Amino acid sequence: MIELSTGTAIVTGGAGGIGAATALKLAEAGAHVVIADRANVGGETLAESLRKDGWAASYHLLDVTQESSWDELIEGIKALPPLRVLVNNAGIATWGNDVETETISGWDKMIAINQTGVWLGMRAVAAPMRAAGGGSIINLASVLATVGGYGEEIAYHASKGAVRSMTKSAAIHWATEGIRVNSVHPGYIATPMSLEGLDDWHESRILGNTPMGRMGTPEEVASVIAFLASAGSAYMTGSEIYVDGGYTAV
Ligand code: NAI
């Protein structure tokens, strides 16, 4: 059983968007939240404002693509309560770049952050979570892990499909050790990632293809992540949960 109130939760990419909403939800559940993000994206400011509101929070610099950065993070949080939760949320996206127009450099960058970063994160927390007697890892995939969307973003699809299947492999690996691994698949959520560069063509199709007829909010994804982090989901591992306003139901 995971007692959030006596543990630490890492949220990668926790400075903004879905990550920031998740940091608040996990802090409200009693965890010491570690906002792990790149430099100069507001992680320290967010941690400070959470602390001012009475929650336990800190910021740590992390580049999810670098093994040494993960090692420094795990070393740096040793004095905190036992590590019980990792939310592998950091990610990037682009509009466009289809199967013909993607470049090697664009592909490599996307795979490094969205895919390799998730694997490195799961590997880095294995020892501290085992020592804590178990934990919950939540990997942010996407509806685009399983459907073709608009025939674009080939590298994004590749990376999120990999997150979906890596989640299941890791879940089976740790199934008897109390470390649970699940993936969350948001549809289109109103964050900097999806709003920057959103043109009328995409917006009208996205809203038209979403039965609820609107984008989701970061909080609507964060509450599902918080459920997967909690003891309420104790019998769930290797599962994929869609938070998409019905996008994949059509
Ligand atoms: P966002 O762009 O608002 O936030 C992403 C965060 O990741 C930022 O704080 C950024 O600094 C951090 N980040 C990027 N590269 C990093 C690196 N190398 N190391 C550490 N941190 C890094 O994005 P949003 O929308 O909050 O997305 C969060 C997750 O949800 C992503 O994995 C994304 O792919 C996924 N998602 C988002 C959807 C959406 O519509 N917004 C839809 C489906 C999935």
Pocket residue to mutate for ligand 1, from 193, 194, 202, 244, most atoms within 8 A of Cβ: 193
Q: Is residue 247 part of a domain?
A: no
* Ligand 1 interacting residues, C-beta cut-off 6 A: 12-13, 15-19, 37-38, 41, 62-65, 89-93, 113, 140, 142, 186, 188-189, 191-194
Q: How many other CB atoms are found less than 10 A from the CB of residue 175?
A: 13
pLDDT per 10-residue tile (average), the chain, 250 residues: 78 98 97 96 97 98 98 98 98 94 98 99 98 97 97 97 99 98 98 94 96 98 98 97 98
Where does the chain show beta strands of DSSP type E? 8-12, 32-37, 57-61, 83-88, 135-140, 179-186, 240-243
Question: What's the burial of 57, exposed, middle or buried (CB within 10 Å: 0-12/13-18/19+)?
Answer: buried
**231 CA from centroid of ligand 1 (Å):** 26
Q: How many other CB atoms are found less than 10 A from the CB of residue 51?
A: 14
Task: Give the domain CATH number at 24.
Answer: 3.40.50.720
**176 CA from centroid of ligand 1 (Å):** 31
Q: Is residue 249 part of a domain?
A: no
Domain interval for residue 58: 8-242
Q: Is residue 122 part of a domain?
A: yes
Q: Is residue 1 part of a domain?
A: no
**140 CA from centroid of ligand 1 (Å):** 9
Total number of domains constituting the chain: 1
pLDDT at residue 3 in the model: 62
Q: Which of 59, 150, 156, 235 is catalytic?
A: 156
Q: Is residue 250 part of a domain?
A: no
Atom of ligand 1 nearest to the CA of 14: 9
Q: Is residue 162 part of a domain?
A: yes
Pairwise CA distance, residues 89 & 141, whole Å:
8
Atom of ligand 1 nearest to the CA of 216: 40
User: Can 242 be counted among the known catalytic residues?
Assistant: no
Q: Is residue 82 part of a domain?
A: yes
Residue owning the nearest CA to atom 34 of ligand 1: 91
Residue 71: in which H helix or E strand, if any?
helix 67-76
Q: Is residue 19 part of a domain?
A: yes
Provide CB contacts within 8 A for 27, sequence distance 6+. 33, 50, 55, 56, 57
pLDDT at residue 240 in the model: 98
Residue owning the nearest CA to atom 23 of ligand 1: 193
Pairwise CA distance, residues 66 & 204, whole Å:
38
